[in-house]
Amino acid sequence: MNEQKLIFKSMPEAEYINLSELAIYLHIGRSKLYAMVKNNEIPSYRIGKRLIFKISEVKEFVNSNKTSNKNRINSDENE
């Protein structure tokens, strides 16, 4: 079983996830995720110095940012 599935299976009732867990789930680096938070690209909450993310909001964010392969290819060709 891969790492991202283990995270969510080990927290079946968890409503929030921390930055490190989300970076693993999204297959991006922590620094990229910090940049996304800084630019308000992804919904997050700060408790003191700690960043947390609501799982349902993350799933909504991912779904709202879907692109088809055709759109991605056309976008790459225009650059």
How many structural domains compose the chain?
1
**pLDDT in the model for residue 67:** 77
Domain membership of residue 41 as a residue range: 3-78
Torsion sign over Cα 25, 28, 31, 34: negative
**pLDDT in the model for residue 19:** 95
What does the pLDDT profile of the chain (79 residues) look like in tens digits?
466 555 555 555 678 999 999 999 899 999 999 999 999 999 999 999 999 999 999 999 988 887 766 555 555 555 5
CATH of residue 61's domain is: 1.10.10
Rounded CA gap, 38 and 36, in Å? 5
pTM of the model: 0.67
